[in-house]
Amino acid sequence: MSAVVHDHSHGHEHGDHHGGYSGLMRWVTTTNHKDIGTMYLWFSFTMFLVGGVMALVIRAELFSPGLQIVDPDFFNQMTTMHGLIMVFGAIMPAFVGFANWLIPIQIGAPDMAFARMNNWSFWILPFAALLLILSFFAPGGAPGVGWTLYAPLTVQMGAGMDFTIFAIHLLGMSSIMGSINIITTILNMRAPGMTLMRMPLFCWTWLITAYLLVAVMPVLAGAVTMTLTDRHFGTSFFNAAGGGDPVLYQHIFWFFGHPEVYIIALPAFGVISQIIPAFSRKPLFGYASMVYATTAIAILSFIVWAHHMYTVGMPVTGQLFFMYATALIAVPTGVKVFNWVATMWKGSLTFETPMLFAIGFLFLFTLGGFTGLVLSMVPIDIQLHDTYYVVAHFHYVMVAGALFAAFGGVYFWLPKWTGRMYDETLGRIHFWLTMIFFNITFFVQHFSGLAGMPRRIPDYPLMFETWNNISSIGAFGFALSQLLFLYVVLKCIRSGAQAPEKPWEGADSLEWTHLPTPAPYHSFDPQPVLELEERP
């Protein structure tokens, strides 16, 4: 997405970071945060398409009851890989891409703190993705255990499971290195005058996300390492016969897994917190409360994990504790939603594509939050556990939450990245197609879930056919709409109209006020001394 960026500032006195390479080697060897951000974004979009094709296989099979297209084993491999690829290959790298592009230019830093490590964090990813894909060709195929990789099934899988475990290790290393880089950049590299409480909220949400990543990615690495040693080295962490316990795996996994939910959601909150004020032409309402709410969500996320496993037979006191703690998260999340709405209140709103995606996010993410609140209640969750209601819930927060925010962010910053405007009409069409097909796909899953349709099953009773027909049609529409997104972005890069210096009059963070459009290849070197107004 920065195809035109490198034309600028080559004569800079601090030397040229291309290292004399051009063509492909420029991208392999680059340590420039803008190049690396671009690569993260393209990588995540590629994985988004790969994971999307897998989702289409799932929806094609589920179009009608009975087994038509794939056998149940392959179906399970599809649900597993769709989940892993979308979470670790598409959504997480997309927001790391945003972080690379934006954090240095939002805090006035010349680059990320560890530019070489940054290159390494990215280039691990394609190999991890390759390992995941290769597992399909291992004897027994890819693991069909669900993205949560629950024992004891993982202990019984073929060699594809080992490929997946090593892929998780690599993805974890990449995330941890990226997080160390982000924390160090934000804490040590801010321009003079850029105090923590003046930072754009996107930087705040990423700072907290990076801490979450450093804290929980190693726990996931530990869990899959235990699975690996159970499989091959005679340990029995999860093997009941050797004194282990499969439920232990679920505890360790969800100790990672619940903060992971916020690792995905918080940067999305950050993007939305940049977009809504810009198109409301008002500063963000309740900036400090946003920071505290983000921190509160992050802290609470460590003590709610067992709400994913109410049905394992835990004591009722445990269920009550996790139920109340989970319901408590609605409070800081509510603070955020109210702050976004209050930002729009009496603002002079315009509805360009980024704002449309932000409002779509606000509406649908809140719906997903509400179904999450429903699921946090033990008696209801025991009824709805592992049904399509859960599938609908987490797609409302993952797709309509994180993905909508990522789309909004791409449209918002595309002029800053490329120096060209995207086609506004096509952008709006992309939004409306995405919005409509998303709801066709996932809204009906609430109903099939309430009626009892189990998730991760390739076949189902006849009574669920109508809901699944609708859902599958929606899924194919949703997927095709994303090709339009690809076209809009390519058209913008290749032949978009010249972007004005400040395409969004309401945007007030550093990259809009202190840098030309497009952002030069090297920026803020030397760093500016900022005289920023105090936040209200």
Residues classed as catalytic: 82, 111, 147, 174-175, 258, 260, 262, 273, 307-308, 333, 336, 455
**Identified binder of another protein from the candidate list 170, 183, 264, 358, rule CB under 8 A:** 183
Q: Which is nearer to another protein, 237 or 438 (CB)?
A: 237
User: Least separation, in Å, of the C-beta of 6 and another protein?
Assistant: 24
Is residue 176 close enough to count as binding another protein by CB under 8 A?
yes
Using CB atoms within 10 Å of the CB of residue 243, give its burial: 0 to 12 exposed, 13 to 18 middle, 19+ buried. Answer: exposed
| Residue whose C-alpha is closest to residue 402's, from 280, 294, 509, 270 | 270
For another protein, the binding residues in 303-332 under the rule CB under 8 A are: 313-315, 318
**Identified binder of another protein from the candidate list 49, 219, 296, 330, rule CB under 8 A:** 219
DSSP 23: T
For another protein, the binding residues in 397-416 under the rule CB under 8 A are: none
Q: Which is nearer to another protein, 111 or 352 (CB)?
A: 111
Is residue 148 close enough to count as binding another protein by CB under 8 A?
no
For another protein, the binding residues in 199-218 under the rule CB under 8 A are: 214-218
Token pair 């009824």: residue:
383
| Residue whose C-alpha is closest to residue 189's, from 274, 266, 105 | 105
DSSP 239: -
Q: Which is nearer to another protein, 179 or 339 (CB)?
A: 179
Pick left, alpha or beta for residue 413 (phi over 0 → left; psi -120 to 50 → alpha; otherwise beta): alpha
User: Least separation, in Å, of the C-beta of 301 and another protein?
Assistant: 14
Q: Which is nearer to another protein, 23 or 313 (CB)?
A: 313
Is residue 252 close enough to count as binding another protein by CB under 8 A?
yes
Pick left, alpha or beta for residue 281 (phi over 0 → left; psi -120 to 50 → alpha; otherwise beta): left
Within a 10 A sphere around the Cβ of 228, how many other Cβ atoms?
A: 19
For another protein, the binding residues in 66-125 under the rule CB under 8 A are: 113-114
The DSSP line for 306-350 is GGG-GGGT--HHHHHHHHHHHHHHHHHHHHHHHHHHHHHTT----
177 neighbors 117 (Cβ within 8 angstroms) = yes
User: Least separation, in Å, of the C-beta of 161 and another protein?
Assistant: 15
User: Least separation, in Å, of the C-beta of 152 and another protein?
Assistant: 9
**Identified binder of another protein from the candidate list 15, 20, 139, 526, rule CB under 8 A:** 526
User: Least separation, in Å, of the C-beta of 241 and another protein?
Assistant: 3
Residues near another protein (CB under 8 A), total: 42
340 neighbors 276 (Cβ within 8 angstroms) = yes
Using CB atoms within 10 Å of the CB of residue 12, give its burial: 0 to 12 exposed, 13 to 18 middle, 19+ buried. Answer: middle
43 neighbors 463 (Cβ within 8 angstroms) = no
Q: Which is nearer to another protein, 126 or 222 (CB)?
A: 222
Q: Which residues pair with 498 in a beta bridge?
A: 420
Q: Which stretch binds another protein (CB under 8 A): 97-105, 185-193, 448-456, 507-515?
A: 185-193
Is residue 184 close enough to count as binding another protein by CB under 8 A?
yes
What is the rounded CA–CA span in Å between residue 155 and residue 479? 34
User: Least separation, in Å, of the C-beta of 500 and another protein?
Assistant: 34
For another protein, the binding residues in 7-66 under the rule CB under 8 A are: none
Tokens matching residue 322: 């996790």
Binding site for another protein (CB under 8 A): 113-114, 176, 179-180, 183-184, 187-189, 214-223, 226, 233-237, 239-243, 245, 247-248, 251-252, 255, 313-315, 318, 526
